[in-house]
Amino acid sequence: MTTMTMAAALNAGLRRAMERDPSVVLLGEDIGRLGGVFRVTDGLQKDFGQARVIDTPLAESAIVGAAIGLAMRGLRPVVEIQFDGFVYPAFDQIVAQLAKLHQRSSGTVRLPIVIRLPFGGGIGAVEHHSESPEAYFVHTAGLRVITPADAATAYVTMQQAIASDDPVVFLEPKRRYWDKADVDSAVDVARAPSPWQSRVVRAGTDVTVACYGPMVRTCLEAAQSHESASCEVVDLQSLSPLDTDTLIASVRRTGRLVVVHEASGTAGLGAEVAARVGEACFFELEAPVLRVTGYDIPYPPAQLEEHHLPDLDRVLDAVDRVLAF
């Protein structure tokens, strides 16, 4: 085991994938000489060369479009979108081309592309640097969407995403880039648990708390600090396809569910989770499903983001309310 930050774990995962498969190439703004804004690609251009770690112009639509062409010629591009709010210029390429070409070509075209997307708030960034756009991509058929919660899962799931023959939107919780965890660098990725499944990260008996990405640590802290309730925390991890089997089994044990995410509540992923659990667990639920989310407003200035983002107190309040029914 090696203790490393999530950023370092992602770097190690990219490095291992590039060592294993010479068709893996990286594209993005300032990912080469600079090593990326968050230094996730630090040192990779030096070791693998400019032909495999490519500094691109500041043109997100062109970056993704070029990646699609490279994939059609047999390569496995990994694209970095520098910040979540910069993905919108590439939106047409992602949802109209990347997500649809496999079906449109009757299966003859495979697009094994990973879109790396730092997302979410909590770092005090300026406008357009703290978005939570996951619902757009989850709603788009043809894309896989995944988000790691810690360094250990980041190391493994990055390699699994690159190995996938489907296009993957890989959401990296930027506020967790500097969180440290033990990483097994010798793990056999091919034998590791599927990244497209949710996982129980803390067992409990009274209420299930479902979350993903940056909110997993927050929910674990809430579960550990609650004085009386035994909270089971489920990391959804794969947002599309959404694995509800693990979650439904948990809710059937606890009878209660709180869903937590940073994105706005209206039409957010929490609404889909609540609907699916309501359909499957109607007779087991002891209380309505509650959601703890960001507010339905444009992301606020950095000085106000702590009031916008779900925090420990808001999660604990939801747990108390769901237990009161």
Span 121-159, pLDDT tens digits: 999 999 999 999 999 999 999 999 999 999 999 999 999
- The answer, as to whether pTM is greater than 0.95, is yes
The answer on pLDDT for 267 being more than 90 is: yes
* Sheet containing 238-240: order of strands: 53-55, 24-28, 76-80, 114-119, 168-173, 144-146, 238-240
Q: Write down the pLDDT at residue 262.
A: 98
Span 41-73, pLDDT tens digits: 999 999 999 999 999 999 999 999 999 999 999
For this structure, is 129 an active site residue? yes
The answer on pLDDT for 1 being more than 90 is: no
Q: Which domains does the chain have, with CATH numbers?
A: 2-191 (3.40.50.970), 199-324 (3.40.50.920)
Instruction: Report the 10 Å Cβ neighbour count for 52.
Output: 18
* 76-104 mean pLDDT: 97
The answer on pLDDT for 266 being more than 90 is: yes
The answer on pLDDT for 218 being more than 90 is: yes
Span 17-40, pLDDT tens digits: 999 999 999 999 999 999 999 999
The answer on pLDDT for 190 being more than 90 is: no
* 266-287 mean pLDDT: 97
* 286-307 mean pLDDT: 96
The candidate with the shortest Cα–Cα distance to 197, out of 248, 151, 231, 155, is 248
Cis bond leading into 118, ω under 30°? no
Distance, in Å, from the CA atom of 138 to the CA atom of 117, rounded to the nearest integer, reads 14
Active-site position among 102, 129, 307, 308: 129
| CB neighbour class for 268 (10 Å; exposed up to 12, middle 13-18, buried from 19) | buried
Residue 308 tokens read as 């916008």
